[in-house]
């Protein structure tokens, strides 16, 4: 039996129009023979990646300069790995720190907090159920959270959001600094690695004066899948401790090819970043213009975002959020139809939306192919009036027991599975996250509400994917006797 995976990559992938990650720069420098040059740190005289020495140090130093940081480290574990490294840093630096986080944190932040014994509290946020988009907190929201928790060691903002909305980052940084010079500002900027290269895109975390930025360079910054960068400024970050956190987490056998792809993307963007990112934005604009010709289809734009003016400083123009309020379908169903029948792959879908992300590798004809496919798919599903929209319950109440404590309790002793309908009022012993949008709904140690359960069941009924111990959602794990 041959390898189906090899076959999939060789024969299938190119047949799809992919409006999704990774966004790889096709004409950046390339390694000529990946299989023949696969190599490890045994060949050590040029430098060791885990030590960030030699050619690896030079590559990271050049990246730091380009992205406006004092220091940069390369990740071959995506931003998931970078989040773990930064959280490991926090636990090394502060013991059991308290971090204020936005409500849209990625599951990796939750998991790392649990693993490293980090407490977190949510900064209140909003959700726009028509746009199907998480709306970032205002500077006031962040400041009020700090006043409620003056002992916080750090603030972690997931910015921009998956749908591309960026908070008023500069003002938030200013408010946090006014409150205390000691609070570390970390931005999970997984979706912002291209922002540096266009004046039309929101500012980056480094530009806004944050301390640490985590970027998935593979998502929109031009390198291969799995790669990312951690940037930081030295003022509040102990660089030796960050290196210790890096060494303690990173594989001792990182792929030199993945690291080289980060260096090659950096080199290309240094020379031609503005032009390259400008043409990705142009592709997205063409897509939006053509999609707007489809009757009753709404596309997220400045007009629809006007009502959130006090919360957002800008949005990612490479992203196209398609709103399905007038159509008799969910984004989940339409996504599958587009992939199966038309070979068009959106970045993601949600209850009332599809998200298309323009990339470096899209071809000239892809806009046409895609708009025709969306038009045909929508004519198959038909229209609807008064569609009931769906809003995830974004409560920001504190946990009854901190998630990291629940994570340390012996599972068999403290928890039991109960039918989902009996769960409201009980305390969750597991995390359940619909993916997308990837915003955690049930969280270990938090009290479960009726709205949580209704939301999860609706997502499930309409074909959404749930990260849960029992994805059928018949049962949920709760804490005994509470």
Ligand X SMILES: Cc1ncc(COP(=O)(O)O)c(C=O)c1O
Residues engaged in binding ligand X (CB under 6 A)? 78-80, 83, 106, 108, 158, 162, 188, 190, 216, 228
Cβ burial 266-290 (10 Å sphere, 16+ → b, else e): bbbbeebbeebbeebbebbebbbeb
Q: Which is nearer to ligand X, 106 or 257 (CB)?
A: 106
* Residue in the block written with tokens 């993945």: 258
As measured in angstroms, the least distance from the Cβ of 313 to ligand X is 17
First to last CA, the chain: 52
Q: Which is nearer to ligand X, 89 or 162 (CB)?
A: 162
Strand pairing partners for 338?
Answer: none
Closest among 133, 441, 107 to 307, alpha carbons compared? 133
As measured in angstroms, the least distance from the Cβ of 333 to ligand X is 22
Q: Which is nearer to ligand X, 80 or 267 (CB)?
A: 80
Classify 87 as helix, strand or coil.
helix
- The span from the CA of 195 to the CA of 266, in Å, is 13
Classify 155 as helix, strand or coil.
strand
* Residue in the block written with tokens 């990625």: 106
Q: Which is nearer to ligand X, 136 or 228 (CB)?
A: 228
Q: Which is nearer to ligand X, 131 or 157 (CB)?
A: 157
As measured in angstroms, the least distance from the Cβ of 68 to ligand X is 20
Closest among 111, 385, 94, 78 to 250, alpha carbons compared? 78
As measured in angstroms, the least distance from the Cβ of 436 to ligand X is 9
Q: Which is nearer to ligand X, 60 or 215 (CB)?
A: 215
As measured in angstroms, the least distance from the Cβ of 81 to ligand X is 7
Residue nearest to ligand X (CB): 78
As measured in angstroms, the least distance from the Cβ of 83 to ligand X is 6
Q: Is 347 exposed, middle or buried (0-12, 13-18, 19+ CB in 10 A)?
A: buried
As measured in angstroms, the least distance from the Cβ of 227 to ligand X is 8
* Residue in the block written with tokens 């309020």: 325
DSSP secondary structure string for all residues of 427-459:
BBSS-BEETTT----B-TTSBP-HHHHHHHHHH
As measured in angstroms, the least distance from the Cβ of 158 to ligand X is 5
As measured in angstroms, the least distance from the Cβ of 369 to ligand X is 26
- In 26-70, DSSP assigns E strands to none
Q: Which is nearer to ligand X, 157 or 300 (CB)?
A: 157
- The span from the CA of 407 to the CA of 225, in Å, is 30
Quote the tokens at residue 194: 């291209």
Q: Which is nearer to ligand X, 108 or 415 (CB)?
A: 108
The answer to whether residues 425 and 390 touch, using CB atoms and an 8 Å cutoff, is no
Cis amide prior to 382 (ω within 30 degrees)? no
Q: Which is nearer to ligand X, 166 or 415 (CB)?
A: 166
As measured in angstroms, the least distance from the Cβ of 137 to ligand X is 15
Cis amide prior to 235 (ω within 30 degrees)? no
As measured in angstroms, the least distance from the Cβ of 341 to ligand X is 26
Q: Which is nearer to ligand X, 228 or 403 (CB)?
A: 228
- The span from the CA of 337 to the CA of 71, in Å, is 44
The answer to whether residues 409 and 428 touch, using CB atoms and an 8 Å cutoff, is no
């Amino acid at each position: 039996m041959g390898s189906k995976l090899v076959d999939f990559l060789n024969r299938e992938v190119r047949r799809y129009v992919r409006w999704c990650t990774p966004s790889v720069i096709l004409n950046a420098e390339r390694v000529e023979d990946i299989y023949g040059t696969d190599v490890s740190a045994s060949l050590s005289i040029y430098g060791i990646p885990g030590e960030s020495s030699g050619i690896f140090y030079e590559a990271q130093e050049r990246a730091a300069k380009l992205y406006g940081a004092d220091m940069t480290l390369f990740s071959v574990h995506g931003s998931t790995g970078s989040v773990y490294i930064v959280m490991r840093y926090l636990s090394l630096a502060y013991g059991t720190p308290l971090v204020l986080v936005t409500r849209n944190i990625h599951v990796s932040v939750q998991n790392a907090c649990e693993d490293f014994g980090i407490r977190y509290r949510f900064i209140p946020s909003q959700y726009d159920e028509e746009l199907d988009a998480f709306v970032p907190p205002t500077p006031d929201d962040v400041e009020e959270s700090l006043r409620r928790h003056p002992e916080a060691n750090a603030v972690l903002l997931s910015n921009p959001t998956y749908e591309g909305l960026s908070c008023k980052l500069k003002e938030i940084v200013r408010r946090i600094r006014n409150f205390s010079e000691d609070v570390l500002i970390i931005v999970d900027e997984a979706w912002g690695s291209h922002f540096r290269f266009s004046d039309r895109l929101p500012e980056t975390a480094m530009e806004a004066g944050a301390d640490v930025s985590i970027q998935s360079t593979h998502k929109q910054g031009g390198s291969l899948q799995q790669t990312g960068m951690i940037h930081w400024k030295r003022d509040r970050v102990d660089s030796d401790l960050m290196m210790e956190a890096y060494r303690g987490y990173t594989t001792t056998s990182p792929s030199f090819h993945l690291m080289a792809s980060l260096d090659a993307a950096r080199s290309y963007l240094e020379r031609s970043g503005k032009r390259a990112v400008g043409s990705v934005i142009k592709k997205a604009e063409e897509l939006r213009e053509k999609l707007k010709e489809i009757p009753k289809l709404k596309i997220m734009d400045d007009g629809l975002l006007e009502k959130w003016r006090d919360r957002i400083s800008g949005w990612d123009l490479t992203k196209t959020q398609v709103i399905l309020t007038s159509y008799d379908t969910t984004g989940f169903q339409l996504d599958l139809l587009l992939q199966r029948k038309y070979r068009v792959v959106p970045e993601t879908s949600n209850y009332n939306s599809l998200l298309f992300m323009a990339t470096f590798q899209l071809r000239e004809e892809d806009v046409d192919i895609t708009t025709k496919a969306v038009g045909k798919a929508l004519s198959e599903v038909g229209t609807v009036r008064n569609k009931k929209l769906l809003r995830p319950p974004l409560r920001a109440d504190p946990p009854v027991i901190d998630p990291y404590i629940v994570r340390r309790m012996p599972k068999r002793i403290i928890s039991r599975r109960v039918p989902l309908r009996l769960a409201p009022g009980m305390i969750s012993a597991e995390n359940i996250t619909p993916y997308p949008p990837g915003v955690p709904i049930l969280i270990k140690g938090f009290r479960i509400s009726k709205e949580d359960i209704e939301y999860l069941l609706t997502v499930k009924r309409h074909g959404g994917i749930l990260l849960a111990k029992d994805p059928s959602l018949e049962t949920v794990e709760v804490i005994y006797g509470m």
